Amino acid sequence: MTVAQAVVPKKNSARRVLAASMIGTTIEFFDFYIYATAAVIVFPHLFFPASDGNSALLQSLATFAIAFFARPIGGALFGHFGDKVGRKATLVAALMTMGISTVAIGFLPTYESIGVWAALLLALCRLGQGLGLGGEWGGAVLLATENAPEGKRTWYGMFPQLGAPVGFILATGIFLILAELLTEEQFMSFGWRIPFIASALLVGVGLFIRLKIAETPEFQKAIDKAERVEVPVATLFKKHKASLFLGTIGAVATFVLFYLMTVFSLGWGTRALGYSREQFLILQMVGVIFFGLTIPLAALLSDKYGMRPVMIIVTVLIGLYGFIMAPLFLSGTVGVLAFLVIGFGLMGLTYGPIGAALAEPFPTSVRYTGASLTFNLAGILGASVAPYIATWLATHYSFDYVGYYMSAAAVVSLIGFAFISFKRGE
């Protein structure tokens, strides 16, 4: 065997790569969304019943926020092994971490059984979810983009992003089915546990697909050329601080928008506007269809015209959207539907290219760590407290201030996208 033969890696088929990158994020976001939905409609009653309605909701949303603070830790941990050991093995470990934590929630005793320990165990499981998701997203994006042909990185990087709307539809769908099959008492007694336990089946499918892929060509080349670094996170902070900072603030508006569209709008729509859980979930599902449609559109536009102009234009539109959020959301069912369709549509336009955009500035040796930390630090700034802040603003001031919050986040992201480098590895 010649040296040239020895370093030629096994080639992944495009279909297998895209399926493996998308299935994991579908499962991860399914798990995340069922928690988000339960955090609004179930957990305040079963894990925080000692508090009044609004306080219980805010406490439940606080457990929701825990995962976002765990995600950078997961990004650094899994990123370290992803840049040292390989993308494939690390992605499998991240999926298992998320899956086990989610299934465990389905078996938790409630406050009625063990008191405050129930909330503490819920927070611990949420921590595990955050660690797993922190390592999942960056690896899935790299699995796609590092196998992409030249000129199609954003298109390939879009497939992991499609896992978000698919996971949302699956999560919302299972809650709607349970609502049809069970009474409210049955759902609150045991039905809410079913989505968490059923996620084990999806994890099995994801593992089956991911175990069949080979390492990415770019990482294999880094191994062959001895380009791996000893401590990727240290190298990242030493040599790539600017890309880390600019990418983090660039993704803030993406996170704020998404969690206003999902967690906050569901909570406010059912509690303040009087929609039933089923009614509002159906409206959200209509919006998510536009989310899924605009993701590939944005990827195509980014490959054709460049990431920077697309991300800047979309972020400006998100900022303008903040000024019409309140008039739409408070003007009846048609207005609520328009609020969700426009918001989710803009979400797809910003989310489609974001994977490639956040991975692009980093070299192969720290790309897993860099992309993961950038995305997950943005999650802390943009998503962890977004439902909480929006609920507080709407309660103490008015819904208009929720829109101003959205517009302010867009201004922050504009700064990031205006100055970050999109030249690969620089």
Three-state secondary structure along 314-347? HHHHHHHHCCCHHHHHCCCHHHHHHHHHHHHHHH
CB 264 within 8 A of CB 286: no
Q: How far apart are CA 295 and CA 389, in angstroms?
A: 27
Continuous H helices in 360-399: 367-379, 386-396
Give all domains of the chain, ordered by start, each with its CATH number. 14-419 (1.20.1250.20)
pLDDT of residue 317: 98
3-state class of 107 per DSSP? coil
H or E element at residue 129:
helix 116-145
- Does 380 have pLDDT greater than 80? yes
**Residue matched to tokens 């660039």:** 250
Q: Which of 30-34, 93-97, 174-178, 318-322 is modeled with the greatest confidence?
A: 318-322
Label residue 11 by pLDDT band (50, 70, 90): low
pTM above 0.75, yes or no: yes
Lowest mean pLDDT across 5-9, 51-55, 197-201: 5-9
Angle, in degrees to the nearest 10, between helices 333-359 and 252-259: 150
pLDDT, averaged across the chain: 86
Q: What is the pLDDT of residues 282-306, one digit of tens each?
A: 999 999 999 999 999 999 999 899 9
Side chain identity at residue 120, one-letter code:
L
pLDDT of residue 356: 86
Provide mean pLDDT across the span 154-162: 87
**Residue matched to tokens 């990415």:** 216
Q: How far apart are CA 238 and CA 422, in angstroms?
A: 19
Q: How many CB atoms lie within 10 A of CB 287?
A: 25
Angle, in degrees to the nearest 10, between helices 53-84 and 232-239: 100
